[in-house]
Amino acid sequence: MSETTPGAAAPSSNFIRQIIEEDVRTGKWRGRIATRFPPEPNGYLHLGHAKSICLNFGLARDYGGECHLRFDDTNPVKEEQEYVDSIIDAVRWLGFDWGDHLHFASDYFERFYGFAEHLIRRGKAYVDSLGAEEIRAYRGTLTEVGRDSPYRARGADESLDLFRRMRAGEFPDGAHVLRARIDMASPNLNLRDPVLYRIRRATHHRTGDAWCIYPMYDYAHCVSDAIERITHSICTLEFEDHRPLYDWVLDELADVLPWHSRQVEFARLNLTYTVLSKRKLIELVGSGAVEGWDDPRLPTLAGVRRRGFTPEAIRMFAERIGVAKADSWIEMGVLEDCLREDLNERAPRRIAVLDPLRLTIDNYPEGAVESCEAPNHPQHPERGTRPLPFSRELWIEREDFAETPPRGFFRLAPDAEVRLRYAYVVRCTGVEKDAAGRITTVHCRYDPDTRSGTPGAASRKVKGNIHWLSTAHAQSSELRLYDRLFRVPEAGAADSREALNPDSKRILTAFTEPALSQALPEERFQFERHGYFIADRSDGAPGRPVFNRAVSLRDSWSGRRG
């Protein structure tokens, strides 16, 4: 069905699993378990959808059922094939497989229509000729009951005739609608004779101009579920008070469509420092606040993929946050931590110097170069090493040197000792500054007996351990450092360009070790002491990759300082 998620805890109990387990126990569906992920192809998928995808496909996987990918394409004016393609791509990327269950609500249009005639014949639906404004006025309010439309008494024959002519294209958009005949006085607004069909002369991305009437969600969704014999139709909380309508439709159609899926609602995902609504995402992209739907700062699946997230990390995340009915906000740290956990294990280590400072080893022979062996993974020696050229002139990280070290600093400082990772222990002997007083070069002397991998190295313990790159061998690469999109945790509550984090993207030119020039698009690495980076799949060229920082490493030092 789909891949399991390594590193993820066994799925914890939740109310939906309980429902399913109870159903399995009582044989309610005669052993069948079928769920579905039903996106409307009118936008890009984001992490909120990922929660739903993992839930639906995960349930099918765990209970030996099937999960359908079904496009809810009932509104041609908003939907496009481009979105269908991107959604299919995203669900696949996440690691799920729907087998031969790729469906489209539009494939059921003819059956939807037939069932609608059935409702009309049985007096359960009628053609209303009120305008949109009037229908709203007649609907009443939250506290006042609605009034019957003057057309509500229309007979089955007349409605049937009108409905057929609606289909035939005899009327302009908006002239008539098909409505369910339920109860205009219901305290649940969804039951006040909801619209089932509207006239919409628009070209549908799949059915073209075959239809000029299109079904509404409340009618199409439950019928699609029944057609596909879905057992558990899982959706978000805002559909909770649509459930009586969902059940009404299937009850009224029972003799011609004898299947009644159970709708179950769960709380949608909220993530701090970002926004998970199609509308807000469109705003961000449209206003140019970000650089497109796959901008690495966006919570779209295309965005997090480009950012460097793995499908495994996202599945782990979905598992960790659980499923319940309480509105909640998940801290961005939970997502980030899932990525760290996944990549810590898998990503090969590499060296990059982001903010270079020259280090000269005065007692190292000029022109000499030796090769140091750097392990690809500290916990997995079997993954081998790669050579790192060492010489007299090196780049180190500017923040790894302090002229007046703060308390607890154990990197390089005047007269202090530090290990150059995978190479030698050096002692700082002085600095050079420019006219402005900025340090331009740090001088030091190395101890030839402390080379990594030799007996001398083991006998010499130094607390500090910094990374470096030989100036003659380092390449320069473009790095993008991404940070949270908003500076406030519950962004989107207030809508706000000003809540945007101005430093959500920083581009810099860094020095990277030689091996990195071979990085393939989407290859991920840990840049030691910095974080996890991915070679961008769109930008960069062969031999000159561009790297995106997916997430930094945990850093208990910078936190302590400030």
User: 300 to 359, contacts with RNA by CB under 7 A?
Assistant: 320-331, 333-334, 337, 340-341, 344, 349
Give the type of residue at 197.
Y
Stretch near RNA under the rule CB under 7 A, chosen from 89-97, 188-196, 294-302, 388-396: 188-196
Measured between alpha carbons, how far is 58 from 35 in angstroms, rounded to an integer?
10
Residue with tokens 């930008």: 539
538 binds RNA (CB under 7 A): no
For RNA, give the closer residue by CB, 46 or 295.
Answer: 46
Stretch near RNA under the rule CB under 7 A, chosen from 54-62, 304-312, 372-380, 440-448: 372-380
Interface pick for RNA out of 288, 367, 556, 562 (rule CB under 7 A) = 556
Smallest distance, Å, CB 345 to RNA?
8
User: 454 to 483, contacts with RNA by CB under 7 A?
Assistant: 457, 464-465
Q: Which of 268, 325, 346, 445 is catalytic?
A: 268
Give the type of residue at 322.
G
Q: Choose among 386, 319, 315: nearest CA to 348.
A: 386
Question: For residue 312, what are the contacts with CB-CB under 8 A and spacing of at least 6?
Answer: 5, 6, 7, 95, 342
Q: How many residues bind RNA (CB under 7 A)?
A: 90
240 binds RNA (CB under 7 A): yes
User: 165 to 184, contacts with RNA by CB under 7 A?
Assistant: 173-174, 177
Interface pick for RNA out of 195, 289, 439, 488 (rule CB under 7 A) = 195
CA torsion angle 239 243 249 252 (round to 10): 180
- Interaxial angle between packed helices 156-168 and 109-121, expressed in degrees from 0 to 180 and rounded to the nearest 10: 160
Smallest distance, Å, CB 283 to RNA?
14
Angle ∠(72,328,505) on CA atoms, nearest 5: 80
Half-sphere exposure at residue 330, Cβ-oriented, CA atoms within 13 angstroms: 25
Stretch near RNA under the rule CB under 7 A, chosen from 362-370, 441-449, 506-514, 549-557: 549-557
Interface pick for RNA out of 24, 88, 130, 488 (rule CB under 7 A) = 130
Measured between alpha carbons, how far is 320 from 314 in angstroms, rounded to an integer?
10
Interface pick for RNA out of 379, 404, 459, 538 (rule CB under 7 A) = 379
Smallest distance, Å, CB 238 to RNA?
4
- Active-site residue 40, yes or no? yes
Angle ∠(96,67,207) on CA atoms, nearest 5: 95
Interface pick for RNA out of 214, 273, 364, 547 (rule CB under 7 A) = 214
For RNA, give the closer residue by CB, 418 or 546.
Answer: 418
For RNA, give the closer residue by CB, 218 or 252.
Answer: 218
Instruction: Kindly calculate the radius of gyration of the chain based on its CA atoms and give it in whole angstroms.
Output: 31
User: 2 to 61, contacts with RNA by CB under 7 A?
Assistant: 9, 12-15, 18, 38, 40
238 binds RNA (CB under 7 A): yes
258 binds RNA (CB under 7 A): no
For RNA, give the closer residue by CB, 30 or 407.
Answer: 407
Interface pick for RNA out of 2, 263, 470, 526 (rule CB under 7 A) = 526
CB 261 within 8 A of CB 67: no
Measured between alpha carbons, how far is 268 from 326 in angstroms, rounded to an integer?
9
For RNA, give the closer residue by CB, 74 or 504.
Answer: 74
68 binds RNA (CB under 7 A): no
- Active-site residue 134, yes or no? no
Measured between alpha carbons, how far is 443 from 365 in angstroms, rounded to an integer?
14
For RNA, give the closer residue by CB, 48 or 521.
Answer: 48
Residue with tokens 């509104």: 75
Measured between alpha carbons, how far is 186 from 192 in angstroms, rounded to an integer?
6
Question: For residue 221, what are the contacts with CB-CB under 8 A and spacing of at least 6?
Answer: 38, 72, 105, 233, 246
- Active-site residue 463, yes or no? no
For RNA, give the closer residue by CB, 187 or 448.
Answer: 187
Q: Which two tokens stand for residue 228?
A: 């596909």
| Residues paired with residue 235 on neighbouring β-strands, in sequence order | 265
Count Cβ atoms within 10 A of the Cβ of residue 179 and give its class: 0-12 exposed, 13-18 middle, 19 or more buried. Answer: buried
203 binds RNA (CB under 7 A): no
143 binds RNA (CB under 7 A): yes
Interface pick for RNA out of 453, 503, 522, 544 (rule CB under 7 A) = 453
Measured between alpha carbons, how far is 23 from 35 in angstroms, rounded to an integer?
14
User: 388 to 447, contacts with RNA by CB under 7 A?
Assistant: 408-411, 419, 421-422
Count Cβ atoms within 10 A of the Cβ of residue 295 and give its class: 0-12 exposed, 13-18 middle, 19 or more buried. Answer: buried
Interface pick for RNA out of 25, 26, 142, 404 (rule CB under 7 A) = 142
Catalytic residues: 40, 268, 278
